A and B are shown apart, each in its own frame.
Chain A
Amino acid sequence: MADLSPKMRRGIGLLLILTALGLAAMLVLSALRDHVVFFYGPTDIQAKAKQGQIVRLGGLVVDDSIQKDQDGIRFQVTDQTTSIEVRYSGILPDLFREGQGVITEGRLDGDIFQADTVLAKHDETYMPAEVADLLKDQGVWKGQE
Chain B
Amino acid sequence: MASFLLIRLLRWTAGLLLILFIAYAMMYYGAGDPIRMMFIQGEDFDSEDEVVMLALRKKYGLDEPFLVQFGNYLSNLAQGDWGRSIRLQVDRPVIDIVRFRLPISMQLGFAATVIGAVAGIVLGIGAALYHNRWQDRLTISAVLFINGIPVFVIVPMLLYLLVLQLKLIDVPYGWNGVFHIDSALPIAVISIGILPIIVRQTRSAMLEVKSQLYVRTARAKGMPESRIILRHMLRPVLTPVVTTLGLIMIGLINGSLFVEYVLSIPGFGLLTIEGIKKVDYPIIMAVVVIGTLIIFISNFLVDIIYPILDPRVRAQ
Does chain A bind chain B?
A: no
A residues at B contact (CB < 8 Å): none
